[in-house]
Copies of this chain bind each other. A is one copy, B any other.
């Protein structure tokens, strides 16, 4: 049984709440913060003082003001001074960004990276450490990198970040965080912050929940399509991880066990075998080895132009997608299902079919208030989510985190 927090813990919680507020909602006056957090003004004054002294926020005149009279100072996050490194081991590309408190992209790097395996982790790590060094060298003097998070296409154990399996890289049971940390220390001496690793769909869910179409929605499912299908699930505002971090493997939910297509996992009739990119491309008579956003979009475009085969393919995949979503809706009762990755285009091209299946297969009470939306953060969704993960610690324990961070020179 967990006892209540100590006075010091309460202060940390208040500091975290205030910092989260300006991180997500932007510059805010002290008076407004007092109202939003339900704390009195003198407490707010003290908290802002502590966060300012720690270099996490500053007070300044607002850039725009609509009201007459002397404008109040606003508290804003020190976006250029406090940042994290977000890394995305994508399908066909490696990407990294330096993202400041408040979610501001300060710098970014990416390069094409062909899928195929097994890949040498050392090569991947070398490229990313190069990106990191370049961006940190270019960061403002005196700024601090306070966290690093890496998104991988695969299953990742929580909390240690062991990468269980990554189909695009061909890795199994790899301590990617360890390898990356070691290489970073060589390239960027003094950088001593933990490297977190997480699944891409989980991070995309986090991104859309905190900064995208899912803002303000406490229960949502983010369904991500690339070659496979994965989900990130937000329950009461928190990411569902499961006992070991593997929750959300909805692509391997069996929906068609006896007549189903074979799946890469060894089973038949998994959702991703029926509704993934390959299923769509094959049904549309395309080369199913050339997957990706462009290939999917070309099927949707062809269907729009009246191509019967493309239409039937979308109809078929939309049907399975609707069954998959209905299952998740019956299980989770979310307010919102977000379609991301290439499922965005699949959904836009088959929305009627998807909705019709949900109407048949989800219980009336559960589907009644359900909203279906496409993700709104675009190609950077996963990087934004990785940054949010890397910021988690400072947003929870602001002062403790900062004493452990590394300063750029």
Residues of A within 8 A of B (CB): 1-5, 7, 9-14, 17-18, 20-21, 24, 36-39, 155, 157, 164-165, 218-219, 231, 235-236, 238, 240-250, 252-259, 265-267, 323, 326-328, 330-335, 360-363, 365-366, 369
A312–B244 Cα distance when bound, in Å, is 35
Known: A5-B5, A155-B366, A248-B333. 12 other contacts (CB 8 A): A3-B13, A4-B5, A7-B7, A157-B365, A243-B334, A243-B369, A244-B366, A249-B330, A249-B363, A249-B366, A252-B330, A328-B331
In the complex, how many angstroms separate the beta carbon of A4 from the nearest chain B beta carbon?
3
In the complex, how many angstroms separate the beta carbon of A209 from the nearest chain B beta carbon?
13
For this chain, the copies found in one complex come to 2
In the complex, how many angstroms separate the beta carbon of A199 from the nearest chain B beta carbon?
11
- A7 surroundings in chain B (CB, below 8 A): 7
**A12:B5 contact, CB within 8 angstroms:** no
Other-chain residue from B10, B241, B323 in contact with A254 (beta carbon distance below 8 A)? B323
Other-chain residue from B335, B361, B365 in contact with A155 (beta carbon distance below 8 A)? B365
**B4:A361 contact, CB within 8 angstroms:** no
- A39 surroundings in chain B (CB, below 8 A): 3
Other-chain residue from B10, B155, B257 in contact with A323 (beta carbon distance below 8 A)? B257
A334–B240 Cα distance when bound, in Å, is 11
**B331:A250 contact, CB within 8 angstroms:** yes
A77–B68 Cα distance when bound, in Å, is 61
**A265:B363 contact, CB within 8 angstroms:** yes
- A363 surroundings in chain B (CB, below 8 A): 155, 246, 249, 252, 265
**A246:B323 contact, CB within 8 angstroms:** no
* A266 in contact with B360 given A3-B37, A241-B333, A246-B365 (CB within 8 Å): yes
Nearest residue, chain B, Cβ from A218? B243
Give the residue among A219, A248, A365 with the most B Cβ atoms within 10 A. Answer: A365
In the complex, how many angstroms separate the beta carbon of A352 from the nearest chain B beta carbon?
18
**B14:A331 contact, CB within 8 angstroms:** no
Ranked nearest first, the 9 interchain pairs of A and B with the lowest CB-CB distance are A242-B333, A4-B13, A4-B10, A246-B333, A247-B333, A3-B37, A1-B17, A219-B243, A249-B330
In the complex, how many angstroms separate the beta carbon of A45 from the nearest chain B beta carbon?
14
Sample (12) of A-B pairs whose CB atoms are under 8 Å apart: A1-B18, A1-B20, A3-B14, A7-B7, A236-B238, A242-B334, A246-B363, A249-B330, A249-B363, A253-B330, A265-B363, A331-B331
Nearest residue, chain B, Cβ from A164? B365
* A361 in contact with B267 given A17-B2, A333-B242 (CB within 8 Å): yes
**A244:B369 contact, CB within 8 angstroms:** yes
Give the residue among A254, A259, A265, A361 with the most B Cβ atoms within 10 A. Answer: A254
A333–B164 Cα distance when bound, in Å, is 14
Other-chain residue from B20, B242, B256 in contact with A332 (beta carbon distance below 8 A)? B242
Nearest residue, chain B, Cβ from A220? B243
* A257 in contact with B255 given A242-B333, A333-B244 (CB within 8 Å): yes
- A155 surroundings in chain B (CB, below 8 A): 363, 365-366
Give the residue among A3, A13, A244 with the most B Cβ atoms within 10 A. Answer: A3
**A253:B4 contact, CB within 8 angstroms:** no
A266–B12 Cα distance when bound, in Å, is 52
* A253 in contact with B360 given A36-B1, A246-B365, A365-B155 (CB within 8 Å): no
